[in-house]
Amino acid sequence: MYTDIPLWTSLLFMIGGFVALAWSSDAFVDGASKVAKAMGISPFIIGMVIIGFGTSAPELCVSVMSGLSDHSNLSLGNAYGSCVFNIAAILGIAALIRPLVVKPATAICAAPLLTALSLISLFLLRNGVCSHSEAIILLVLFAIIMPLYCWFDQKYSLMPKPSAPAKESDAGDEADAPILGAVVKLVTGLLVLVGSSHLLVWGAVDFARAMGVSELMIGLTIVAAGTSLPELASAVASARRGEHEFVLGNIVGSNIFNTLAVVGIASVISPARDFSHYILSRDLPLMAVLSVCIFAFGFNWHKPKSPGSFNRVDGFVWLLVFVLYTAFVIYSETH
């Protein structure tokens, strides 16, 4: 599907794809939020589902494009690499900016859930193929788990409380805002998202060919980090404002979406075959370990009923793990 192009063109496609992904994701999320508010959807659902989907849309588009062009290593590497990046890099950076308060229900629910999803993925992919039936299993799990997680999250107040009602003047301005503009922004953001994902995959594939490195390495590092830019921007902004639960909710929701929906949809369209054994022996096990760390670091072991925290030491440990992991990926893929 992707023809050979000059090296400078592949670099241009990758850089342009990253920039367009960042813009289009922001436009898509903003438009979706305004449309949802205009339709009377609750702020919780907007934050957990719409924003969670919006920040994970780059991973979905890139993985689907990769699957369609029969680049399974790039597709799976992007999805699982983004999960690793979300926890090790994004939570690490957010914790360094400001220690994150972690409610007991978050540590007790989110960590086992993400760990279980990593192990389920490891089991389904153990034979080196993610078939149509296995992809459907992932999508069914997503359809069951996501609503249950939203219900649990809302019931135990894991998401931040809604802000105080806006003043009458603000409410009037918001009411006067045309929904047509929000719809246009949503559709435009989605179209640019798909197009930029196509350019990014094309550039990444050709760059891997030119440099003599594997598509898996490109997917796990450059592409995974690039498609996680919306989560990173959201987490940094939220951490600076002290919105701790929004940081955690966005990362957990994004990882659920990546593990189940992104891999599931990409594999339904084109089953993943002949992918690197490193996904099973290195990447998915690390995802499980990092998920366990959410509980180990965030649970208050001295007062189990009180909130815990991710402090700056935890953030440094996560970032160190990410740096070592990236170095190991580069070494193993180039030797």
Q: Which distant-in-sequence residues (6+ apart) come within 8 Å of 37 by Cβ?
A: 46, 174
109-to-94, 131, 298, 302 alpha-carbon distances in Å: 21, 29, 11, 19
Higher pLDDT, 189 or 328: 328
Mean pLDDT: which of 164-173, 222-231, 306-315 is highest? 306-315
CA torsion through residues 148, 113, 78, 296, sign: positive
Give the integer Cα–Cα distance in Å for 210 and 204: 10
Pairing verdict, β 129-130 and 272-273: antiparallel
pLDDT score of 203: 79
Return the structure tokens found at 264: 């599931």
- Lowest model confidence (mean pLDDT) among 3-12, 172-181, 255-264, 295-304: 172-181
DSSP, residue by residue, 106-157: HHHHHHHHHHHHHHHHHHHTTTSEE-HHHHHHHHHHHHHHHHHHHHHHHHTT
pLDDT tens-digit profile of 28-38? 767 766 776 77
Higher pLDDT, 272 or 313: 313
Residue with tokens 């995959």: 201
* pLDDT tier for residue 172 given thresholds of 50, 70 and 90: very low
pLDDT score of 52: 64
* 161: pLDDT strictly greater than 50: no
Mean pLDDT of the chain: 78
Give the integer Cα–Cα distance in Å for 29 and 48: 12
Give the integer Cα–Cα distance in Å for 243 and 248: 9
* pLDDT tier for residue 48 given thresholds of 50, 70 and 90: low
* pLDDT tier for residue 184 given thresholds of 50, 70 and 90: confident
* pLDDT tier for residue 303 given thresholds of 50, 70 and 90: confident
Strands (E), the chain: 100-102, 129-130, 272-273, 308-310
pTM: 0.74
